[in-house]
C-alpha cells in the first residue's frame, strides 16, 4: 500500500499508553519487588507480568492507575477533614459567630493557589518547621523526608482545594432544620446516630458534589505534585501528559493520554454519581 | 457536653491547619535568608518587599534578588490582569446566558445541555488547557494570552453560571409573568426585573471568576505558549534548585493583607446595615 492510501486515523498513539516495558531487574531486586503489595496488585490487574524470566510492566497504565488511586485517597482525606467543619459552620454555631468561621475559610483561598503550595514548603522541608520541631523535642534524630512521601502531596492538595469540598456540603447542610437534630437527640440518639440517620442523608447531594469537584481537581493536579515532590516521587499522570507535550516532541501521544484520562475520569464520576444517586442538577442546588 | 467540646477542639485545629502555613509565610517574608525559612533566623529585613521599588544598582548588589528579572516579573503580573479583564466579563456573559437558558428553557434536550455546560468543570484542568492549545493552533492562532483566555474561560464560565442559577431559581416567575401581561417586551423584562434581581450574585460571581483566573496554574501552564502569567512565573521559580526566593512570600503577604482588609470591611459593613 502506498503511503498516501493509508488511512489517516490510527490508534497507535493509544498503544503507547498500554505498551509494556521490560524492567531490568537483578534476581534479588525481583524477589524483593514481588513481595511488595503494590506490585502484586499490578500483577493481579495484568499491568505487570513475567515472561521467560523477564519482568514487564505497562508503565503508562500503572501510572494512570496509581494517579487515580491517589486522587481517590486525596478526596477521602479532604472529606474526612471537611465534614466536621461543614457541620460545625452550618448547624452547630450561633448565627452571629458564623461570620468569623467563614472568614477563616475564605482568606486562605484568596491568595493564589501556588502561594498556598509554597507556604507548605516552609513546613515540610528537611530543615522546615515540622522536622525542626520533631528534632528539637527529641522525637527524631534524622529529618523525615516529607517530599518523598505521597501522603504529603495528599495533604497539600486537600489544603489547596478545601473550599471545593466544604462549601457544597455546608450549603446543603444549612438547609437542614436544626429542630430535627434536637428532636433526634431528645429521643435519645447518640451523636454518631444523629449524623448517620439525619445529617448525612440530608447532606448527601452536597457530599457527592464536593467529592466530585475535589476528585477532578486532584486528578488534574499538576502544580502540587510538581512543587511539593520536586521530582523525588513518581510522576502524577498530569505531569506525564505535560512531559509528553512539552519536554519531548510526542504531542500526539500526549493527546491520546489526555483523551484516555478524561474518559476514565468521566467514567469514574459517572459511576460515583450513579451510586450516590446524584443528578447534575444537584450542582446548581448546592451553590 | 463532650461531643460539642470535641467539635470545638477540632474546629480550632482546623483553623490552625488553614492559617499556620500562611502565618509561616508571612514570618518568612521578613527573614533575611533564601530560600524562605522560619527555622534559621538571619535577622529582620524589608528587602523582599523593597524588591518592587528599589533602584537597579541595589538590585544588582543583592545575590538573591539579582537572579530575578524584575521587569519580567511585573510584566507577567500585568499579563495576569489582562487575562482576568478578558475572562471575567466574558465568563459573566456566558454564565448568565447559560443560567437563564437552563432555568427558564424547559425541553427534552435539557439533560444534554446540562452535560455540555458542566463538563468543562468536570474535566481535568490540564486537558482544558491542552485542548485550547491544540484547537487554536489548528486554526492558526499562536499560543499566547488569547489561548490562555480561551482555556480559562471554558471552566471559569461555569462558576458564574452555577451562582446565577442558584439565584434565578429563587426568583418568583410571577414577576416576569405580570410584566409580560402588562405588555413589556422580553428585553425590557430582562433589563428591568431579572438583571437587577441578579445584581448581587453578579458581583460575587465576578469576584470568584477574577480570583479563579488570577490563581489558575494547571490550565494556564498548558495553554500559555511563550507568554507568562503571574501564576506560571512564580511556578517557574519552583525549578530553582535553591528553592523559591522570599519575594514570593512578600507578594503573598500583601495579597493576604489586602484580602483580609476587604473581607473585614465587607463583613463590618453588612453588619452595620443589618443593625
Q: Which helix (H) or strand (E) holds B29?
A: none
Determine the Cα–Cα distance for residues A125 and A135; give it in Å rounded to an integer.
13
User: Between β-strands A48-51 and A21-23, what pairing exists: parallel, antiparallel or unpaired?
Assistant: unpaired
Determine the Cα–Cα distance for residues A198 and A187; give it in Å rounded to an integer.
13
Q: How far is B169 from chain A (nearest CA, A)?
A: 9
Instruction: Say whether both B158 and B208 belong to one domain.
Output: yes
Q: Of B163, B161, B15, which Cα lies nearest the Cα of A100?
A: B15
Instruction: Say whether both B109 and B187 belong to one domain.
Output: yes
A78-82, A136-140, A278-282, B162-166: range with lowest mean pLDDT: A278-282
**Whether residue A139 has pLDDT greater than 80:** no
**Whether residue A230 has pLDDT greater than 60:** yes
Tally of domains in chain A: 1
Q: Which of A129, A280, A287 sits opposite B39 (nearest CB)?
A: A129
Instruction: Say whether both B259 and B127 belong to one domain.
Output: no
Between residues B261 and A4, the one the model is more confident about: B261
Say yes or no for a CB contact (<8 Å) between A110 and B271: no
The pLDDT tens digits along chain B (275 residues) read: 577 788 888 888 888 888 888 888 888 888 777 777 777 777 777 777 777 777 777 777 776 777 777 778 888 888 888 888 888 999 999 888 888 888 777 777 777 877 777 788 778 878 888 888 888 877 877 777 888 888 888 888 888 888 888 788 777 777 778 888 888 888 888 888 888 888 888 888 888 888 888 888 878 887 777 778 888 888 777 666 666 788 888 888 888 888 788 877 877 777 776 65
Q: Please report whether residue A5 resides in a domain.
A: no
* Tens digits of residue pLDDT in A49-64: 777 767 777 777 778 8
Between residues A253 and A208, the one the model is more confident about: A208
The CATH number given to whatever domain includes residue A245 is: 1.10.3720.10
Instruction: Say whether both B218 and B194 belong to one domain.
Output: yes
**Whether residue A115 has pLDDT greater than 50:** yes
Q: Can the peptide bond before residue B35 be classed as cis, meaning omega within 30 degrees of 0?
A: yes
| Interface predicted TM-score (ipTM) | 0.79
The CB-side HSE value for A51 (13 A sphere, CA atoms) comes to 10
pLDDT attached to residue A3? 53
Instruction: Say whether both B138 and B263 belong to one domain.
Output: no
- The phi, psi pair for A185, rounded to 5°, reads -65, -45
Say yes or no for a CB contact (<8 Å) between B165 and A287: yes
Whole-number percent of chain A with pLDDT over 90? 1
pLDDT attached to residue B240? 67
The CB-side HSE value for A215 (13 A sphere, CA atoms) comes to 22
pLDDT attached to residue A155? 87
CB count within 10 Å of CB A182 equals 11
Domain enclosing residue B249, as ranges: 245-275
Q: What is the residue-wise DSSP string for A45-114?
A: HTSEEEETTEEEE-HHHHHHHHHHHHHHHHHHHHHHHHHHHHHHHHHSS-HHHHHHHHHHHHHHHHS-HH
Which chain A residues touch B165 with a CB distance below 8 Å?
Answer: 284, 287
Instruction: Say whether both B169 and B105 belong to one domain.
Output: yes
Confidence band, pLDDT 50/70/90 cuts, at residue A275: confident
CA angle B250, A222, A212 (to 5 degrees): 110
Q: How far is B145 from chain A (nearest CA, A)?
A: 18
Tally of domains in chain B: 2
Determine the Cα–Cα distance for residues B54 and B59; give it in Å rounded to an integer.
7
The mean per-residue pLDDT over the stretch A117-126 comes to: 80
Q: Please report whether residue A33 resides in a domain.
A: no
Say yes or no for a CB contact (<8 Å) between B22 and A223: no
Instruction: Say whether both B185 and B144 belong to one domain.
Output: yes
Domain enclosing residue A110, as ranges: 60-285
**Whether residue A151 has pLDDT greater than 70:** yes
**E-assigned strands of chain A?**
21-23, 48-51, 54-57
Which chain B residues touch A122 with a CB distance below 8 Å?
Answer: 21, 24-25, 28, 36-38
**Whether residue A214 has pLDDT greater than 80:** yes
**CA A12 → CA A5, A16, A20, B271, distances in Å?**
17, 7, 14, 63
Confidence band, pLDDT 50/70/90 cuts, at residue A1: very low
Whether chain A has a CB inside 8 Å of the CB on B238: the answer is yes
Q: In this complex, how many residue pairs, one in chain A and one in chain B, have their CB atoms less than 8 Å apart?
A: 195
Say yes or no for a CB contact (<8 Å) between B126 and A241: yes
Q: Please report whether residue A53 resides in a domain.
A: no
Amino acid at each position: 500500500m502506498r503511503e498516501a492510501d493509508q488511512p489517516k486515523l490510527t490508534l497507535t498513539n493509544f498503544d503507547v499508553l498500554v505498551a509494556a516495558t521490560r524492567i531490568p531487574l537483578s534476581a534479588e531486586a525481583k524477589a524483593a519487588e514481588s513481595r511488595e503489595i503494590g506490585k502484586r496488585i499490578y500483577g493481579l490487574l495484568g499491568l505487570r507480568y513475567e515472561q521467560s524470566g523477564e519482568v514487564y510492566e505497562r508503565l503508562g497504565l500503572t501510572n494512570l492507575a496509581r494517579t487515580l488511586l491517589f486522587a481517590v485517597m486525596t478526596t477521602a482525606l479532604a472529606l474526612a477533614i471537611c465534614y466536621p467543619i461543614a457541620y460545625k459552620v452550618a448547624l452547630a454555631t450561633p448565627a452571629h459567630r458564623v461570620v468569623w468561621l467563614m472568614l477563616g475559610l475564605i482568606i486562605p483561598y484568596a491568595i493564589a493557589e501556588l502561594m498556598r503550595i509554597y507556604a507548605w514548603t516552609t513546613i515540610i522541608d528537611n530543615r522546615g518547621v515540622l522536622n525542626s520541631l520533631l528534632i528539637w523535642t527529641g522525637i527524631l534524630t534524622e529529618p523525615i523526608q516529607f517530599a518523598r512521601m505521597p501522603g504529603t502531596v495528599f495533604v497539600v492538595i486537600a489544603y489547596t482545594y478545601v473550599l471545593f469540598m466544604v462549601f457544597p456540603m455546608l450549603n446543603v447542610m444549612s438547609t437542614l432544620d436544626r429542630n430535627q437534630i434536637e428532636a433526634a437527640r431528645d429521643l435519645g440518639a447518640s451523636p454518631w446516630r444523629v449524623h448517620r440517620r439525619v445529617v448525612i442523608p440530608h447532606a448527601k447531594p452536597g457530599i457527592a458534589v464536593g467529592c466530585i469537584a475535589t476528585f477532578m481537581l486532584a486528578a488534574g493536579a499538576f502544580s502540587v505534585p510538581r512543587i511539593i515532590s520536586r521530582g523525588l516521587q513518581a510522576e502524577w499522570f498530569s505531569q506525564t501528559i505535560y512531559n509528553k507535550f512539552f519536554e519531548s516532541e510526542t504531542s500526539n501521544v500526549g493527546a491520546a493520554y489526555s483523551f484516555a484520562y478524561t474518559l476514565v475520569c468521566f467514567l469514574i464520576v459517572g459511576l460515583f454519581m450513579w451510586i450516590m444517586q446524584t443528578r447534575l442538577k444537584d450542582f446548581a442546588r448546592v451553590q | 457536653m463532650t461531643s460539642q467540646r470535641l467539635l470545638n477542639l477540632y474546629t480550632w485545629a482546623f483553623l490552625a491547619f488553614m492559617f499556620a502555613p500562611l502565618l509561616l509565610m508571612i514570618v518568612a517574608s521578613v527573614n533575611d535568608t533564601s530560600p524562605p525559612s522560619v527555622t534559621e533566623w538571619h535577622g529582620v529585613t524589608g528587602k523582599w518587599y523593597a524588591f518592587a521599588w528599589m533602584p537597579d544598582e541595589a538590585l544588582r548588589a543583592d545575590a538573591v534578588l539579582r537572579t530575578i528579572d524584575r521587569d519580567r516579573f511585573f510584566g507577567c503580573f500585568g499579563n495576569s490582569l489582562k487575562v482576568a479583564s478578558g475572562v471575567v466579563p466574558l465568563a459573566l456573559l456566558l454564565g448568565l446566558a447559560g443560567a437563564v437558558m437552563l432555568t427558564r428553557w424547559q425541553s427534552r434536550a435539557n439533560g444534554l445541555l446540562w452535560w455540555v455546560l458542566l463538563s468543562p468543570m468536570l474535566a481535568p484542568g490540564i486537558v482544558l488547557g491542552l485542548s485550547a492549545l491544540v484547537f487554536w493552533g489548528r486554526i492558526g492562532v499562536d499560543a499566547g494570552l488569547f489561548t490562555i483566555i480561551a482555556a480559562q474561560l471554558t471552566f471559569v464560565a461555569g462558576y458564574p453560571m452555577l451562582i446565577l442559577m442558584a439565584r434565578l431559581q429563587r426568583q418568583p416567575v410571577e414577576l416576569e409573568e405580570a410584566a409580560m401581561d402588562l405588555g413589556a417586551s422580553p428585553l425590557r423584562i430582562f433589563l428591568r426585573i431579572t438583571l437587577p434581581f441578579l445584581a448581587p450574585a453578579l458581583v460575587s460571581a465576578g469576584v470568584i471568576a477574577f480570583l479563579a483566573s488570577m490563581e489558575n496554574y494547571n490550565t494556564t501552564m498548558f495553554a500559555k505558549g511563550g507568554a507568562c502569567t503571574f501564576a506560571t512565573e512564580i511556578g517557574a521559580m519552583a525549578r530553582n534548585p535553591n528553592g523559591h526566593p522570599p519575594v514570593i512570600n512578600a507578594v503573598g503577604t500583601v495579597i493576604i493583607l489586602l484580602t483580609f482588609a476587604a473581607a473585614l470591611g465587607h463583613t463590618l459593613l453588612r453588619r452595620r446595615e443589618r443593625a
